[in-house]
Copies of this chain bind each other. A is one copy, B any other.
Amino acid sequence: MMGDQEVHQELLVAKLASRALLDDDDRAAIRALPCQGKTVDPATYLVREGSEPQRCQFILSGYAYRQKLTREGSRQIVALMIPGDFVDLQQMFLRRSDHNVQALTRLHYIEIPIVALRKLATTRPNASRALWVDALVDASIFREWIVSIGRRDARERVSHLLCEFAVRARTAGIAFDGDCALPMTQEQLGDALGLTPVHVNRVLKALAADGFIERNRRQITILDWNGLRNVADFNDRYLHLDQASPE
């Protein structure tokens, strides 16, 4: 029987093993990382712009998002994070954070000292590769968001986000089939998509009227996966899901 600590670290091992092939020594080194579990309420800041992070967070359950504010006070969400995501690989080698990270829901996570992760990265080549792949996949998702916001209309954009979330949730083992409970308010969706909440509302209504999704308060369920992926022009290539298979 495993204690909490062990369960947490198995998630971490599983995540990194999905990013690169690991041997037993790599796994042992990952299990040996010092870490500490934490829980926070929705809207809590995990990282603040301008701060100098000393620990890297890894999400066990719940959701979080990266966010930046403009001078006028409008907010842009630049990434969603789900269980099995690292919050701070994006800052691991940078001095100051360039954005904020906030909990979207109640959140359980572990914190690992950055020095320990850096040491892992320099002593275990396979683990290092897994960390690289993870950071580079994040960057690939950023690029796809630029394409969505820059070149897709509101209907495509909303659909694309739903598709991405569904695939990532399924890959992380926290969703099955269409059952994709994206716990975001329409205002938050708007902030992630570069739209106003009013317009998000209208688009969701239209997608529901067309039978692609079903809505029920903050729950959105995909009814017609192929239809929605077609509306969205969605292709999961940019998520790089096959990095850990033998070459």
Q: Does A186 contact B (CB under 8 A)?
A: no
- Give Cα A133 to B132, complex, Å: 11
| CB pair A136 B68 closer than 8 Å | no
**Residues of chain A at the chain B interface (Cβ within 8 Å):** 20, 50, 66, 68, 70-72, 74-76, 78-79, 90-96, 98-99, 118, 121-122, 125, 128-129, 132-133, 135-140, 142-147, 149-152, 193-194, 233, 237-238, 240, 242-243, 247
Chain B residues, CB < 8 A from A91:
136
How far in angstroms is the closest Cβ of chain B from A236? 10
Number of chain copies forming the complex: 2
A142/B150 contact (C-beta < 8 A), A71-B233, A135-B135 known: no
Per a CB cutoff under 8 Å, which of B74, B98, B139, B194 touches A237? Answer: B98
Chain B residues, CB < 8 A from A95:
240, 242-243, 247
Chain B residues, CB < 8 A from A133:
93-94
Chain B residues, CB < 8 A from A99:
143
